[in-house]
Chain A
Amino acid sequence: MEKFLDVVIAGLLLGGLYALIAMGMSLQYGVARVLNLAHGEFIMLGALSTWTLYTVFDISPLIAVAICGPITFVLGFLIHRTMFRKLLSSSTNQGIFESTSMLASFGLMYVISNLAFMAWGPEIRGYSYLMDTVSIGGALFGARRLVTLGFALAIGVAFYIFLSRTKIGKAIRAAAQDPATAGLMGVNINMVLAICFGLGAAMAGIAGVLVSMCYPVNAAMGIEYLTVAIIVVVLGGLGSIPGSFIGGFLLGIIGSIVSFIEPGLTVVAYYAIFVILLLVRPKGLLGK
């Protein structure tokens, strides 16, 4: 039993990170209808910037959250205002927009990753921060992983409050449900979509900061986190933000259990769940 608890807590710690990564992507798809394949690259940007801030300027990763978040937000916002907005206006229907925007984001993925290669080179970057050990009921865990979990939860809750209480949040929800009506009711739909895309990018950037605290990072890391994000987003239900949040934790726990039994099958399990879920319940756990 103690062992079981141990495994589940390890899964939760990993799941927090997954949840954060996936929420951003889910927001981008759920509202802005862009299945953003460059999502992993924003994580990479956050991670490598944190490394530079920490090793060169001696800025703590926890402060880096406040730097990388806004920067990636602006980046995402601008990309939507230019590229995706043009695509949106030239697409005749939503289906076409979804597929062309996905392909455009594939191109974006290449551009960002190549630029990062030029800036940081391909080396693996790592630093030690918060290497303390925490004991929970006799089981040992890394303090930095608990910080990661704390951040994921805090951002999840803050975002929930933002969506339900603020004016922009309400506009976003209206835009997600029915863009046409929202537009008629005076919501500046393009602005809302760009903000959502920016927020998604910011979440990726912050996730990147947290990733860099726990794992080595490099310019080629984006694709790995992209696949995780896609799995979680589908698991929780495409476009459902609470779904991704729960899906992240679920995938973390499943991964932890499988890697306890047979580590070689961890990644296989991720994809197996993904494929089977699409066959049995394509809408995901919380999909509408």
Chain B
Amino acid sequence: MSDLMVIINMLALVYLGWFVERSLQKNKSKMWLFSGLVVVMLVILFTLPNYGPTYSYIMVTTILMYLVLTVSWALFSGPTGYISLAPAAFFGVGIYTSAVLGKDIPLLAVVLLGGILSFVLAMIVGALTLRLKGTYFIMFTFGLVLLITNLLLWYEIKFTGTRGRFVVAAGNDTIYYVMLGIFILLLITAFIIKRSKFGLALQSIGQNEEAAAHMGINVTGVKVIVFAITAFFMGMAGAIMTMKWTYIDPYSAFDLFRSFLPVLMAIFGGMRYFYGPVLGSVIFAYLEEKLLTEFPYVYKLAFGIVLIAVILYLPDGLAGLVDKIRARIARKKNALT
């Protein structure tokens, strides 16, 4: 029962992603129909706690967490080609904001502050490192997460005399609504960025950075700002998500796995499309839970094989596969007429 509810809502989330992609295209036919459907999807999503069992929206919250991480990651790394392994750092900053300040200030303020602190960190990191190219940038962001983890661990042991912290818990439905809100805000932001000159600038940076600079684009400025905006969303997600986990420590807060997951999910879904990462993370998150609970001993094996298979045989991910099938059917139809 709860699985069914989860799947309906997953569908709604994928639809929202697809709708953003669709509205970015020039083709405006039938937009009224699609917009109407968006309203329906939003109603389905926002009323889930009213009709679904508790676990269904706990599950969708987790899916939303992966969605926020992946979509914001892809927003920057997709067009520019800079593979950032820093999501865990930004997510973790949000977690620690929540752990340190959760008792003293209201929930929404904590979430916002978590986002702002991540934003600031990303500005600094971005300004320092976005001139690094290719593998060096990947390496730097990788090291950054580990440096923060270990520095924080040392600090906690040395100065607070403990390792972990308790977080003020929030209700499952509150967390769900906030997470959904963050995701929708992210979609709107992504839409605005893609439509504005920032989107074009990012695209040209990804194609040829030097040429973009010659065209008068403030290459560093654009990169840093967009990088920081994506970090803002990851930080907010961390701040709210941790209220569900109640106890955190540096290792669990800055889990490097959360840096790799967005990359994998985005590639799984297809980076060339806006809704690819959405599709990828929704399916991936669902499959992860199924594997962990149904086939715990081969979870990693299955995960690894799927990943390798997708990289080898589906370079454009699931969304690419969708396109390919669509093209084949269209060709067949043409052949018939």
Direct chain A–B contact by Cβ atoms under 8 Å: yes
Tell me if B304 counts as interface (CB < 8 A to partner A): yes
**A214 CB to nearest B CB, Å:** 22
- Contact B307 A103, beta carbon cutoff 8 Å: yes
Interface residues of B in 137-173 (CB under 8 A from A): 138-140, 142-144, 146-147, 150-151, 154, 157-158
Measured between beta carbons, the chain B residues less than 8 angstroms from A186 are none
Q: What residues of B have a CB within 8 angstroms of the CB of A83 in the complex?
A: 308, 312
Choose, from A68-76, A172-180, A230-238, A248-256, the stretch at the interface: A230-238
Assuming the contacts A230-B142, A271-B143, asked whether A107 and B134 have C-beta atoms less than 8 A apart, the reply is no
- Among candidates A87, A113, A117, A275, residue contacting B312 with C-beta atoms closer than 8 Å: A87
Q: Which of B304-322 contact A (CB under 8 A)?
A: 304-308, 311-312, 315
| Minimum CB–CB distance for B183 against chain A, Å | 25
CB–CB A230/B147 < 8 A? no
The answer to whether A87 touches B144, judged by C-beta atoms less than 8 angstroms apart, is: no
A46 CB to closest chain B CB (Å) equals: 20
Q: Determine whether the beta carbon of B146 is less than 8 Å from that of A114.
A: no
Find out whether the CB atom of A264 lies under 8 angstroms from the CB atom of B143: no
Contact of A282 among B136, B158, B267, B311 (CB under 8 A): B136
Instruction: Determine which of B135, B157, B158, B308 lies in contact with A111 in the assembled complex, contact meaning CB atoms within 8 Å.
Output: B308
Q: State how many angstroms separate the Cβ of A23 from the closest Cβ of chain B.
A: 18
Q: Is there a chain A Cβ closer than 8 Å to B336's Cβ?
A: no
The distance from the CB of B264 to the nearest CB of chain A, in whole angstroms, is 7
CB of B231 within 8 A of chain A?
A: no
Interchain CB contact under 8 A, A265 and B267: no
Contact B154 A86 (CB under 8 A): no
Q: Are B143 and A231 in contact (CB under 8 A)?
A: yes
Give Cα distance in the complex from A278 to B135, angstroms. 11
Q: Mark interface residues in B262-283 (1 if CB within 8 Å of A CB, else 0).
A: 0110010000000000000000
B264 touches A234 (CB 8 A): no
Q: Is the CB of B139 within 8 A of A234?
A: yes
CB-based contact B312/A86 at 8 Å: yes
The interface residues of chain B lying within 8 Å CB-to-CB of A114 are 298-301, 304
Sorting the interface of chain A by its residue count into under 10, 10 to 19, 20 to 34 or 35 or more gives 35 or more
Interface residues of A in 84-105 (CB under 8 A from B): 86-87, 90, 95, 98-100, 102-104
Residues 111-149 of chain A, each 1 if its beta carbon lies under 8 Å from chain B, else 0: 101110110000000000000000000000000000000
Q: Are B139 and A230 in contact (CB under 8 A)?
A: yes
Per DSSP, chain B at the interface is helix
Q: Which of B128, B142, B304, B307 has the most chain A CB atoms inside 10 A of its CB?
A: B304
Number of chain B residues close to chain A: CB under 8 A: 39
Name the distance in Å between B87's Cβ and chain A's nearest Cβ.
Answer: 15
Q: CB of A110 within 8 A of chain B?
A: yes
Question: Residue of B at shortest CB range from A29?
Answer: B135
**Chain B residues within 8 Å of A104, by CB:** 307-308, 311-312
CB pair A271–B150 under 8 Å, yes or no, is yes
Q: How far is the CA of A90 from the CA of B142 in the complex (A)?
A: 27
Q: Evaluate contact between B315 and A107: CB separation under 8 angstroms.
A: no
Chain A residues 232-288 with CB under 8 Å of chain B are 234, 238, 264-265, 267-268, 271-272, 274-275, 278-279, 282
Q: Are A227 and B146 in contact (CB under 8 A)?
A: yes
- Chain B residues near A227: list those with CB within 8 A: 146
Q: How far is the CB of A84 from chain B (nearest CB, A)?
A: 10
- Give the residue name and chain of the A residue nearest to B309 (CB): A107
State the CA gap A267–B143 with chains docked (Å): 11
Tell me, yes or no, whether B34 is within 8 Å of chain A by CB: no
The CA-CA distance from A95 to B134 in the complex, in Å, is 7
Query: How near does chain B come to A61, taking the closest CB pair, in angstroms?
Result: 28
Q: Are A107 and B304 in contact (CB under 8 A)?
A: yes
A109 to B312, CA, bound (A): 16
**Could you say which of A35, A87, A109 contacts B311, with CB atoms under 8 Å apart?**
A87
Closest B residue to A278 by CB, please name it.
B140
Provide the bound-state CA to CA distance between A195 and B315, in Å: 26
Q: Is A268 within 8 A of B151, CB to CB?
A: yes
CB pair B304 A109 closer than 8 Å:
yes
Q: Is the CB of A110 within 8 A of B142?
A: no
* A contacts, CB < 8 Å to B: 35, 83, 86-87, 90, 95, 98-100, 102-104, 106-111, 113-115, 117-118, 227, 230-231, 234, 238, 264-265, 267-268, 271-272, 274-275, 278-279, 282
29 contacts between A and B (CB under 8 A): A83-B312, A95-B134, A98-B134, A99-B138, A100-B315, A103-B264, A103-B307, A103-B311, A106-B260, A106-B307, A107-B303, A108-B304, A111-B301, A114-B298, A114-B301, A117-B297, A118-B297, A227-B146, A231-B143, A234-B139, A238-B136, A267-B150, A268-B150, A268-B151, A268-B154, A271-B143, A271-B146, A275-B144, A275-B147
Given A102-B138, A106-B264, A282-B136, 7 extra CB contacts under 8 A: A87-B311, A95-B134, A110-B301, A110-B303, A110-B304, A110-B307, A278-B143
B→A interface (CB under 8 Å): 81, 83, 128-129, 132, 134-136, 138-140, 142-144, 146-147, 150-151, 154, 157-158, 260, 263-264, 267, 297-301, 303-308, 311-312, 315
